[in-house]
Structure 1
Amino acid sequence: MDQIKIEKLFNLEGVTREPKFKNGWYQKDILSVNQFDKAGLSYIFTRAEEMAEMVEKVGACDLLKGYVQACVFYEPSTRTSSSFIGAMERLGGSTIPITQGIQYSSVSKGESLVDTMLTLEKYADIIVLRHPEIGSAAQAAKYASVPIINAGDGAGEHPTQALLDLYTIRKEFGRIDGLKVAMLGDLRNGRTVHSLTKLLENYDVSLRYVSPDTLRLPLNLMNELINKGIDVRETDRMEDIIKDVDVLYVTRIQKERFTDMALYEEVKNYFEITEEVLAHAKKDMIVMHPLPRVGEIHYKVDRDPRAAYFRQVRNGMFVRMALLASVLGEA
């Protein structure tokens, strides 16, 4: 399909480099899930659905032709970095990839985060940043003149992952309200859990948190949920929740967040999702995981239609396409 037909089909004609702020939704930077209310979420999810339709029908378009993104990852990444690169490619743009570790950049020579951002903004129209320190993305946005997208800041937040997680839940069930969502694993250090929790606060849901006592959800988040009147419970037993949840959101025990390896060894195999475990679950529930997994979901589970984590991966590209286009003012 040629570009004229694509523009007509998806209302992409008349693209300029000036942000159009359609539907009253626009954010210069994507730093936190706190930037999103239900209207903003609905807008991004609608754009993501359009992106999915476009990719399935024609593969790619020239919506962001001429735009360059810099992907700067101070921590390892497979899915997040690849999906942002794929998203920009599908939209006709290009990427400066700094994703193989800081040892291959001037950071290894002592360059500060601010100076790295001030350099890359001279080459790129938008910067996707992953950094091990909480608040690093906000710090970068304070100095950079181009948009910053937070691709994970330590144990803080991972807003784009939370958006694709919520989009996946809505796509799988056709709704979010009324669902019972369980999150299992490393809830203390899991930035994906923290961010998804905050997004789910916008909806009428029941939340269940399952973890060893040492890896419980941070108290401030739990108090926030309680103060908002959300139906929330904690347990260290998967058997307490598996029979009646709609969504089982599994996370790995994050070895890199531990300073005491003896403690990690105690909890690393605390939960394992097997075919036998799922035999006790609802027939229409789904299993999600932000990945990578390191043994907490057995490979045989992949054959179960309730295993949604690789559908979740695919959805991530569509959501990030929607975010790139929206932040750059082209959606």
Structure 2
Amino acid sequence: MDENSLTADPSTWNGSNFVSVKQLTPEGLQLLFSVAKDMKALVRSEGGDERLKHRVLANVFYEASTRTSCSFQAAMLRLGGKVVCVNESSSSVKKGETLGDTIRCLECYADVTVLRHPVKGSAAEAASATQKPVLNAGDGVGEHPSQALLDTFTIEDEFSSTGGLQNKIVVLLGDLKHGRTVHSLAKLIARSGISGVTLRYCSPDILRMPEDVKEEVAKYGLQQEEFTNLKAALNGADCLYVTRVQKERFASEADYEAVKSIYIVDKEVMKAAPEKCIILHPLPRVGEIKEEVDSDPRAAYFRQMENGMFVRMALLALVLGKSGK
């Protein structure tokens, strides 16, 4: 199955894969956000509906996950569908089965597959093996496109009274080398058609944003700035997007230990941050945001997490042709 361009026309989503933010047009992004707002209102008022009754989601996770896995499951259940779960320890991959064969097997049972896999490019490989939608839930150090959707949706929502993301300064902090969430977020913001956004990358030198991501963003004319000093990066910022240093991606323990605690967001950092600078994090956190920050009204990461369910409800409804749009 080819990667379709996802536009404002819901028919372009129906039956399509979603493996990369590169598939999204600005109009397609706004359609997704419109449906997500509808889903938020639906959950608030009714808890859900039955539009995906008798539809089945295969939730395939070969890497650990709490939020992404559970939010996709909750999204399907709130829309009346069912879920079957597969992980590496319970699947025939332990017997040597290929990813393609696993996906073809699940195609026989399910209407849509959500896949997380440790290998970059695996979601596209899976999509080519089936005629039913595959949604990328993270492929190694590649992309995490549905996370980028919920991140951008959250920024737009938090600043809805001041033009959303337009003309905002967004600081991406931490492990920018390995962080698929920041790779996808930078690309999506660049492709969004939203004007005046500045992206600031703050990281140790060994964890800088990859050149291919910066080159992709540059195609769309966004201003990009690089920092190693957090307080300098926060000057005038509207959003601080924090990422953990990903121990599992490092070649050596020594390299990880050298940078694991280089940035810690605590009350002192929050004092230095602008008054209306929101804090986001894809979670889990492993010490880079102190719990003392949670009570700060600028800490938006739990609101961000809830938005993930609404966005994934919208995504499932769109690819299964039941968005109502």
TM-score, structure 2 normalization: 0.93
The CA distance in 1 between the partners of 2:88 and 2:242, in whole Å, is: 29
Identity %: 50
The CA distance in 1 between the partners of 2:300 and 2:12, in whole Å, is: 29
> In structure 2, the residue corresponding to 1:92 is in which secondary structure?
coil
The CA distance in 2 between the partners of 1:59 and 1:72, in whole Å, is: 25
In structure 2, what is the equivalent of residue 26 of structure 1?
13
**Aligned pairs (5 A) from 1:132-281:** 132-174=118-160, 175-201=164-190, 202=192, 203-204=194-195, 205-281=197-273
**Residue 291 (str. 1) matches residue 283 (str. 2):** yes
Q: Which aligned segments of 4 or more residues in structure 1 are displaced greater than 6 angstroms?
A: none
**Residue 107 (str. 1) matches residue 93 (str. 2):** yes
Give the total of aligned pairs. Answer: 309
Q: 1:75-126 CA deviation, whole Å, 9 max, x = no partner? A: 000000000000000000000012xx41222111111101110111111000
Cα RMSD, aligned residues only: 1.2
The CA distance in 2 between the partners of 1:166 and 1:59, in whole Å, is: 24
> 5+ unaligned residues in a row in structure 1: which ranges?
1-20
2:73 counterpart (85, 95, 102): 85
> In structure 1, the residue corresponding to 2:170 is in which secondary structure?
strand
The CA distance in 2 between the partners of 1:143 and 1:22, in whole Å, is: 25
The CA distance in 2 between the partners of 1:148 and 1:288, in whole Å, is: 27
In structure 1, what is the equivalent of residue 104 of structure 2?
118
The CA distance in 1 between the partners of 2:92 and 2:220, in whole Å, is: 45
The CA distance in 2 between the partners of 1:60 and 1:301, in whole Å, is: 32
The CA distance in 2 between the partners of 1:294 and 1:129, in whole Å, is: 24
**Residue 315 (str. 1) matches residue 307 (str. 2):** yes
> 5+ unaligned residues in a row in structure 2: which ranges?
1-7
Larger radius of gyration: 1
Whether the aligned pair in 1 keeps the contact of 2:10 and 2:321 (CA below 8 Å) is no
Whether the aligned pair in 2 keeps the contact of 1:25 and 1:40 (CA below 8 Å) is no
TM-score, structure 1 normalization: 0.91
The CA distance in 2 between the partners of 1:114 and 1:227, in whole Å, is: 33
Whether the aligned pair in 1 keeps the contact of 2:171 and 2:233 (CA below 8 Å) is yes
> In structure 2, the residue corresponding to 1:111 is in which secondary structure?
coil
Q: 1:207-230 CA deviation, whole Å, 9 max, x = no partner? A: 100000000000122233345432
Code of the residue aligned with 1:66 in structure 2: it is H
> In structure 1, the residue corresponding to 2:157 is in which secondary structure?
helix
In structure 2, what is the equivalent of residue 71 of structure 1?
59
Code of the residue aligned with 1:193 in structure 2: it is V
In structure 2, what is the equivalent of residue 302 of structure 1?
294
Q: Structure 1 24/178 Cα, relative in aligned 2: closer, same or farther at 3 Å?
A: farther
